[in-house]
Structure 1
């Protein structure tokens, strides 16, 4: 049980209250009420293992006692809703001047009890809790998006690697083609040169048959 005792008071006069536990904390609450300044304030008092949280505004004090496991956010959210419910009551205006003790116990005591039960069993998510939940969801989405980006980056890197490999292969192919062309050109040149030499030798042989080896006979004629 997080919220144990809650009340609404005018000064040190309790107008309505509800206690969820069996232990009597009336002396402690009266002592704390006597220490609350008349100006608007919001504070937490520590007593034993319990925390007394209060909101003082417009001459009224909204106080709740909770164990330390409840923290501060949930009790103050409870007090804010308690204040809203109290100020919306038409009967609240009758307690503005010198109200008797427990003047609104019959009408507002059950409201305090129901609100305490709600917060002790299934407290509604306050703004900070909702913001934290939304932040966690955004974080999950961001992590998922980052993972997708990283995966896409890996695919891009693989594509770049393949492109670089293809470019290297194309460069090697061009170099090989130039080498083959150069080799074929030299081969063709050697064939042409050899053919020319063979043709000259054959021509010399034919002429030598008629004119002699030194071509003297043809020149003397």
Structure 2
């Protein structure tokens, strides 16, 4: 049985754990295994900035751990299990835990707060590692997850790129609207200026016509008066 016990913990308490017995009854030393894993978790430095990985051997079992971002991932495996397989397993559950819980994992102080949600995932991964070709299955699963991530990132990039293009079109549209508003205002101003100019011309023409009319009336009146005076004499 490659991996018989796994626990995820923060500096306050265990968050999720899982025992795997391949369908059989729990081995007699299961309680002791959990106690050793708990003691190991208490001795770990959760404040380290860089990722830490190591393992200790005890009673024919290897207690491997990975500490990163204030979360510890501990698994207990047979001593015959290779280091590469255990490392891949711990890194895999680390990625899954971070994606599912994020900052909540290192903030909670409730014991086994993620047990209901994450223990089934631990069991699935432990069963996979215990099955024939478990390492290959885990590698394939990790590749699938990486492909999904890359696809999501590419899609997000395209959406952001489209967002930039849309923003550029909006800016251009706003610029065109501003230009149209300015053109409309200029047109109104021009029409108003032409109207005022026409009004002035009409007024001037009317004044000239009135002056000419008055002048002609006075002229003819004066001429008529002169004719009447000559006739009287």
Please give the range of the TM-score, normalised by the shorter of the 2 chains: 0.5 to 0.7
Contact 1:10-1:60 at 8 Å conserved across structures: yes
Instruction: State the Cα deviation string for residues 3-45 of structure 1 (Å, max 9, x = none).
Output: xxxx941249x999xxxxxxxxxxxxxxxx99633899xx964
Taking the TM superposition and a 5 Å limit, the aligned residue runs for 1:25-36 are: 36=37
TM-score by length of 1: 0.52
- Higher-Rg structure is 1
* C-alpha displacement of 1:112: 1.8
Instruction: Provide closer, same or farther for how the CA distance between residues 11 and 114 of structure 1 changes in structure 2, counting only shifts above 3 A.
Output: closer
SS of 1:65's equivalent in the other structure is helix
SS of 2:195's equivalent in the other structure is helix
| Equivalent residue in structure 2 for 1:143, among 159, 164, 167 | 164
Indicate yes or no: 2:221 matched with 1:200. yes
TM-score by length of 2: 0.50
Structure 2 equivalent of residue 191 of structure 1:
212
Taking the TM superposition and a 5 Å limit, the aligned residue runs for 1:67-78 are: 76-77=95-96
Give the number of aligned pairs. 159
Q: Structure 2: where are the runs of 5+ without partners? A: 7-19, 23-33, 55-63, 67-71, 79-84, 98-117
Taking the TM superposition and a 5 Å limit, the aligned residue runs for 1:1-221 are: 8-11=2-5, 36-37=37-38, 45-47=52-54, 53=66, 55=73, 64-65=86-87, 76-77=95-96, 83-84=123-124, 86-87=126-127, 104=130, 108-116=131-139, 119=142, 122-125=143-146, 132-212=153-233
Instruction: Provide closer, same or farther for how the CA distance between residues 185 and 84 of structure 1 changes in structure 2, counting only shifts above 3 A.
Output: same
RMSD, matched Cα: 4.7
Instruction: Provide closer, same or farther for how the CA distance between residues 189 and 118 of structure 1 changes in structure 2, counting only shifts above 3 A.
Output: same
Q: Structure 1: where are the runs of 5+ without partners? A: 1-6, 17-32, 67-71, 93-103, 213-221
